[in-house]
Chain A
Amino acid sequence: MSTTIPLTITVDGEPRDLDVDPRTTLLDALRDRLGVTSTKKGCDHGQCGACTVLLDGRRVLACLTLAVAKDGADVVTANGLATDGELHPVTEAFLANDAYQCGYCTPGQICSAVGAIDEARQGMPSAVTSDLTGEVTLDRTEIAERMSGNLCRCAAYVNIVSAVEEASRA
C-alpha cells in the first residue's frame, strides 16, 4: 500500500519533485501534492474537460493521466501561459469576449483552446473537417467541434467560440 514512486515534472516552468502512489492522477498530483490549483476537478472521469492542461505542448485531461507515467514531462496550466507578465493571446481573447461566468471550467477551456488552435495550425482535421488533407480553417463550426470536450454549465459557449475565433486570427 505504501509503495511510492519518485518523479520530476516541470510545472509552469518550474521543475517539481514528488513521490506518488502509482494510482495518483496527474490532476491530484498537481492540486493536492504540488498546490497547483489553476486546473480544476469537475468530474474526475474525463467527461468535463475542467482539468485540461498542456502536456509537452498537447492538451490532455489531467484526471485521466497517471502522474507516474509522466516523469520528465512539461506541464503548463492556464496560470503558466503568461510570458513576462503578459497574458496569453487566448487568455486576452476570453477576457475581451466575456467568455465565462463562474470561472470554474475556464482554465481548462483556455488550455484546450491553445491546444486546439495549435492542432489546427498543424493541419489536424476534426470530425467536421471536409478536406482531410488541406489546411484547416477555424470557423465557428470547427471551433465548436474542437472545444466540445470542455463543458461549461454557465453555457458561455457563444462567447467562448468567439474568443477562440479571435485568438486564432492573432
Chain B
Amino acid sequence: MSVTTHSGGSILGHPVKRTEDRELITGAGVYTGNMPVEGALHAFFVRSPIAHGTLGDIDVDEAKGMPGVVAVYTAADLELNDRPGLPGVVPETMNRPLLAKGKVRHVGDIVAIVVAETASEAIDAAETVFPDIEPLPAVTDIEAAMADDAPLLFEGTESNMVAGAGTGEVEGIFDDADVVVKAKFHNQKLAGVPMEPNAVVVEPGENGKLTFWASTQTPHGLRDQMAGDLGVDGEDVRVIAPRVGGGFGPKAFAYSEYSIIARAAQKLGRPVRWNETRSENMLSMVHGRAQVQWVELGVKNDGTFVGLRATAVGDAGAYPAIGAVLPSLTQLLAQGVYDLPAIDFTWKAVATNTTTVGAYRGAGRPEATQLLERIIDMAADEIGMDPLEIRRKNYLQPEQYPLTTLTGANYDTAEHEKAADAAKEAAGYDALLAEQKRRRESGDRIALGIGVGSYVEVTAPLGLDGEYGSAQAHPDGTFTVMAGTSAHGQGHETAFCQLASSVLGVPMEKIKLVQSDTELVRSGAGTLGSRSLQTGGTAIHNASQELVAEAREIAAHLLEAAVEDIDHSDDGFGVRGIGDKVITWAQIAQAAEDGSGYEDGRGHEMRQELDFKAGDSTFPFGTHIAVVEVDLDTGFVKQRRHVAVDDCGIILNPMLVAGQQHGGIAQGISQALYERVTYDEDGNPTSGNLASYTIPTAADLPSFEVSNTETTTPLNPIGAKGIGESGTIGSTPAVHNAVIDAVSHLGIHHIDMPLTPETVWRAIHGANGSDPATRQQAGPEYAGKAITEDTPDSAQA
C-alpha cells in the first residue's frame, strides 16, 4: 500500500506550520477552565489526609452553613456505582467506591464534595468538613505490599496482589552463558504533570441528558465510564474536550471526581464545574512507572546473549485499574531489539496506599527498555566490551522481520544497525571515548560519560489499532474530516488536514477537522499510545479516498462519461482528453445534495465514513546516545548532548515529529535525573507540588540533536508508526547509562534513578544505604554496587 496523491503529494513530508497556532498563541483558546457555562456552581473536594484508615462519621454541618454553600455530599448522599478497576483483570473485591466508604486508601482519597456559588466559597467550606478517620498501618512500598504480613487494602482479599502472569520457566536458561549478570532495579513512580490540571464542567439537560466539557484525551472512553458510574445510557452523555493543556497519558483516565460532580449537578439541576488545584493534581491524577525489577542476563564472553530472566512487579496504587496490566507491556517488549534465544519473564501488579497508577508517556514500555538496556551495559562492563558493540552484535537483522518475539510481540519492520550507526556518527562516538580516556588519565574531576539506549516500542497497543474517520464535501467548497482521536497539543488539525488535502487535491485551509465531541464524532478511542496518525490519520486518508471515488462517479454522471475516463486534478474533475470542462468539488457536493449528481435523483450529504483496522500494532525503534558530565565532588550531572535517531516509519510532518521527539526526550531525561514521587513512612506524599517534584526547565536541558531513519510499515497506507512516546523510551536508559559510564571507573555498576546530585555523590562516596533520613531524598538503592541478592521467593511466579 502507499499513499495515493493525485498531484504527487507535495504537501506530505513537509514541515507545514500548525493551523491551531494563532488561537493558542494569544491565550484565546478555550480550555475547560474558561468554558463559559451560564450559572455554573463550583465544586471542591474534601480529601483524606490519612493514607490508610477506617472512615467513621463525616461532620459536614458547619460547612453546610457557610456562605455560598449549596450542598455538601458524602458517599451516603449520592448514588454512585462502585467502579470495577479493570473487568476480568482486577478482582471485584478491589472495586473503587467513588466517594470513600468505610475506609480511605490513600492521601487524597475523596471523602466529600462541597458545591458553592464560587470556588473560594467552596474551598473555605471544605476546610470545615471533618472526617473521623482511625489510622491503619499504611503500605506504600511495592515489596512491603507483597510481604506475607502486609496490611491489606481491601476486605475479602488474602493479599494485595492484583494481577500477574508470565512466560513460564525456561530450563537451563543460562547453561551456555560464560557470565550471568544480576541486578535489582527500581523504576521510580512518576507524576504526569500536564500544565493544565484536570478540569470539568457538567451541565444537566432535558430528560436526564448530561453534557461534560472535560480536559481529557479520550472523550468516548470518558462518556462510557461516566455512563457506567452514573447508571445511565451512554447516549444520554455527551463529552466534549475543548483545548486540552497537555495529557501525557494520565488524561486518558476517567476521574471519579467527574462522576461525583455529574451526580451533584443532576441532583441540584445546575451546571457544576471543577478546576483541579495543583496540590490535588499531585494526589489524584494517576501516576506512572513504579516497578521493581529483578533481572538476570546471561552472555558469552564474545558478547552473544544467551538468555534473560526477569521479574517485574508494578505498583498499581490504591485503586488498581489500567496500571494493573502495564507490567504486561513490559513483558511484551522484554526482547527489545535483540536476537535473544530465551526469555523467562514474570510480571505482577500489587496494590499500595498510594495514588493509583495509570498510563504515563511510555506506559510499561520504558520500563522494559530500561530493564534491558541497563542490564546489557552491566554485562558489557563485566566482559569488557563496548556498549555499542555488544548491542550491534545482538541486534535483530532486517531480514528476520516480520517476526513474533518470545513474549508474543509481532514486530513489523526495523533496521536497528542503521539507526545505531546514524546515532554513532552524529554523536562522534569514537572522539567521545577518546575524550573520556584523556579526562580519566589526567584525573579530571569532571567525568565524562557516554550512554547508549536502543529501543523498540509498541504503538497503537492493547487493541487500539482501529479508528473511525470520515470525510465530507460541502457545496461551498469546504470539507469536514473527522476522527475518533482527540488531540491535546500534538497538532492533528494540521497533520490530518495535510493528509486529506493531499488526497482531495484541495488546499488545507478548505478542510476542517472535527474531533473530541462524542455527539459529532460517532466513535473513537482517543489519543494515547502513540496511535493517532496511524489509526485516525489513516481513517481520514481512506475516507478521503472514498470521497474522491464518489466524486468521480458524480462527475461521470454529470459529464456523461465513463468513471474510468474522469481525471482528478487540483481544479476538480474532468473528462480525460476532452476539452477543458472541469467540475469543481463545490459543484459535485451541490449535485450530491440536490440529487442531480445521482442516477436516482435522491440527494444526500456527500460524506464517507469508515472504521479503519490495522490488524496489529506498529513497532517504532531507534537509538539514543547521551553525553553527560558528572562532577565527582558534588555528584551534579550536567547533560552536555543528547543525540536521538528515532524511526517512526514514514514521516508526514517533520516539524510535528521533532516536537514529539523533543518533548519525549525531555520527559525521559527527567526520569533519569530529576523526578520521583515520594512518600514518608506513614504514607504521606512528600513530593506534592512543583517545588518538591522536579520537572525540568529550559536551563536544565541541552539542545537535542534529533534525526530520523524512515522504515515503512505495511500496516497502514501512510507507512507511519507512532512517535509520541519514542523519545521518552529511548532517552532514559541512554542518560542513565551515561551517568553510570561516567563513574564506572570508580567501581560503580549501578545507581537507581533519579540520579540527583545527592544520589550520585553517595554512590561515589560509597555511603551505605541504611540511613532512613536520607533514603527518601536519595532513592531506595544508592549504594555504589550492583545488587546481587537473589530474587525473593515472593516475587517468583
Contacts and interface: CB of A to CB of B under 8 A. Distances in A.
Nearest to B67: A1
B433 interface: no
A151 B699 CA distance: 10
A1 B698 CA distance: 42
Interface in A22-61: 23-24, 28, 31-32, 37-45, 47-48, 50
Nearest to A164: B698
Interface residues of A, number: 59
Interface stretch (B102-110, B326-334, B655-663): B655-663
Interface in A44-99: 44-45, 47-48, 50, 77-79, 81-82, 87, 91, 94-95, 98
Nearest to B278: A43
B703 A140 contact: yes
Given A106-B25, A155-B696, A40 B663 contact: no
Interface in A133-169: 140-141, 143-145, 147-161
A41 to B, nearest CB: 7
A118 interface: no
Given A2-B67, A42-B195, A104-B246, A94 B698 contact: no
A133 B67 CA distance: 55
Contact of B243 (A43, A47, A103, A151): A103
Contacts of A47: 278, 689-691
B697 A151 contact: yes
Interface in B263-299: 275, 277-279
Between B17, B25, B245, the greatest number of chain A beta carbons within 10 A of the residue's beta carbon is seen for B25
B654 to A, nearest CB: 11
A101 interface: yes
B246 A102 contact: yes
Contacts of A150: 697-698
Contact of A156 (B33, B196, B244, B659): B659
Contact of A106 (B24, B118, B119, B197): B24
A43 B704 CA distance: 28
23 contacts: A32-B119, A39-B27, A42-B196, A45-B278, A45-B690, A47-B689, A47-B690, A48-B278, A78-B27, A87-B25, A95-B17, A98-B17, A101-B659, A102-B243, A102-B245, A102-B246, A104-B196, A141-B699, A144-B699, A145-B699, A148-B700, A156-B663, A157-B697
A98 B655 contact: yes
Interface stretch (B485-493, B602-610, B741-749): B485-493
A91 B25 contact: yes
A152 B22 CA distance: 18
Interface string B24-39: 1111110101100000
A117 interface: no
Nearest to B245: A104
B278 A153 contact: no
Given A40-B31, A143-B698, A153-B193, 7 more contacts: A37-B27, A37-B34, A45-B278, A47-B691, A103-B245, A153-B195, A158-B701
Bin chain B's interface residue count.
35 or more
A115 interface: no
A151 B195 contact: yes
B26 A157 contact: no
B248 interface: yes
Nearest to A90: B25
A117 to B, nearest CB: 15
Interface string B695-711: 11111110110000000
A153 B689 contact: no
Between A94, A102, A145, the greatest number of chain B beta carbons within 10 A of the residue's beta carbon is seen for A102
A80 to B, nearest CB: 9
Contacts of B665: 155
Interface in B615-659: 655, 658-659
B21 interface: yes
A50 B278 CA distance: 12
A105 interface: yes
Interface string A89-133: 001001100101111111100100000000000000000000000
Contacts of A19: none
B695 A144 contact: no
Contacts of B659: 98, 101, 154, 156, 159
